[in-house]
Amino acid sequence: MATAKTATTTASRAAAKPSTRLDVPKTYKLFIGGAFPRSESGRVTEVTDARGRFVANVAKASRKDAREAVRAARKAQPGWAGATAYNRGQVLYRVAEVLEGRKAQFVDELQKTEGLTAARAAKQVEAAIDLWVWHAGWTDKIAQIGGNANPVAGPYFNLSVPEPTGVVAIVAPQAQSLLGLTSVVAPALVTGNTVVVVPGGAGLSAISLGEVLATSDLPGGVVNILPGDAAELAPWLAGHADVNALDLTGAGELDWVELEQLAADTLKRVIRPVAGPAPETPQRILALTETKTVWHTKSRL
């Protein structure tokens, strides 16, 4: 009670007098393997608001950063896929919880970088939170939608289950950057894929989402976020031999046909661009899975 009272008093004082306190601005870096390194290239992108005022220097990922990110994603993949579905569900729900608690920060960032009103920005953040909750609930159900027992003509117990395809490289939607990013990352995580994603927008809310992920018990490397030039990074990811799927949802403005051709060299699963965030369907989750069918022999009694 005492603490709450003090806080109220401080707040009312702040409102009464013009603040003299100097802000502590955030350094927006990459998110790779659970850590927040700068780009090895030393490059940054200067982000300004709608009126041209300086907001931040966001680290700009390079080809080598992309390679590191794929390595981190591959390393994390068996562990994430091997976690129980209940566990994955709780982690994804935790993301929603932590995001809810940091709503104000995301509203602020989206206002600055997407020129939104506070109300519109809040609406996007809330939609993103709800989308994490929706996906959290799928982890222990999707196998019942995508898998089945198969009545084969013989003495076999035969079962098909959807399994994660592996490492998924994603070009996230440009518009509505937080919601768009959630709409492509969350479905990949549901079944146990790990992700390397080039976010859309200025990258601020993407890196802040990385902070949310890092404090939500998501193992390091499960999601790797590379703010930067998608046109520069995507070809390396599309051609990378240790990437299993390429999600081009947000690549509509890029030369995505070339990216799909590059992906063909290693027969990656490719999701072609769509307008806006990815659709909210179980099919979208299953698109990043492989059906594994196991035939178990039944003995003669």
Partner 1 sequence: MTFLDYAPAPESTSILDLRQEYGLFIGGEWRPGGGTSFASVSPSTERQIATFASADEGDVDAAVAAARTAYRQTWGPMSGRDRGKYLFRIARILQERARELAVAESLDNGKPIKETRDADIPLVAQWFFHCAGWADKLDWVGLGADPQPHGVAAQVIPWNFPLLMLSWKVAPALAAGNTVVLKPAETTPLTAMLFAEICEQAGLPAGVVNLITGAGETGAALVRHPDVDKVAFTGSTAVGREIAKALAGTEKKLTLELGGKGANIVFDDAPLDQAIEGIVNGIFFNQGQVCCAGSRLLVQESIHDAVMDRLKERMSTLRLGDPLDKNTDVGAINSTEQLERITRLVDAGIAEGGEAWSPACELPKEGYWFAPTVVTGVEASSTIAREEIFGPVLSVLTFRTPDEAIAKANNTPYGLSAGIWSDKGSRVLAVADKLRAGVVWTNTFNKFDPASPFGGYKESGYGREGGRQGMQAYLKGGN
**Distances, alpha carbon 290 to alpha carbons 164, 272, 273, 286, in Å:** 6, 18, 21, 8
Q: Give the residues across from 234 on adjacent strands.
A: none
Of 88, 138, 260, 284, the one binding partner 1 (CB under 8 A) is: 260
CB of 160 to partner 1, least distance (A): 5
Site mask, partner 1, residues 71-90, x = CB under 8 A?
-------x------------
Interface region with partner 1, contact rule CB under 8 A, candidates 88-96, 189-197, 212-220, 286-294: 286-294
Amino acid at 199: P
Q: Alpha-carbon distance 91 to 78, whole Å? A: 16
CB 247 within 8 A of CB 259: no
Interface region with partner 1, contact rule CB under 8 A, candidates 11-19, 53-61, 154-162, 196-204: 154-162
Other beta carbons within 10 Å of 294: 11
Of 100, 160, 219, 252, the one binding partner 1 (CB under 8 A) is: 160
Q: Please, what sign has the CA dihedral across residues 249, 197, 237, 200?
A: positive
Q: Alpha-carbon distance 214 to 36, whole Å? A: 10
Interface region with partner 1, contact rule CB under 8 A, candidates 41-49, 98-106, 229-237, 261-269: 261-269
Q: Alpha-carbon distance 83 to 92, whole Å? A: 13
Collapsed DSSP state (helix, strand, coil) of residue 32: strand
Of 13, 54, 265, 279, the one binding partner 1 (CB under 8 A) is: 265
Of 244, 249, 271, 288, the one binding partner 1 (CB under 8 A) is: 244
Of 11, 27, 261, 279, the one binding partner 1 (CB under 8 A) is: 261
Binding flag, residue 109, partner 1 (CB under 8 A) = no
**Distances, alpha carbon 205 to alpha carbons 29, 54, 104, 128, in Å:** 12, 16, 12, 11
CB of 150 to partner 1, least distance (A): 5
Q: Alpha-carbon distance 260 to 151, whole Å? A: 37
Site mask, partner 1, residues 194-213, x = CB under 8 A?
--------------------
In the window 114-153, what residues touch partner 1 (CB under 8 A)? 145-146, 148, 150-153
Binding residues vs partner 1 (CB under 8 A): 78, 145-146, 148, 150-154, 156, 158, 160, 165-166, 241, 244, 256-258, 260-261, 263-267, 269-270, 283, 290-297
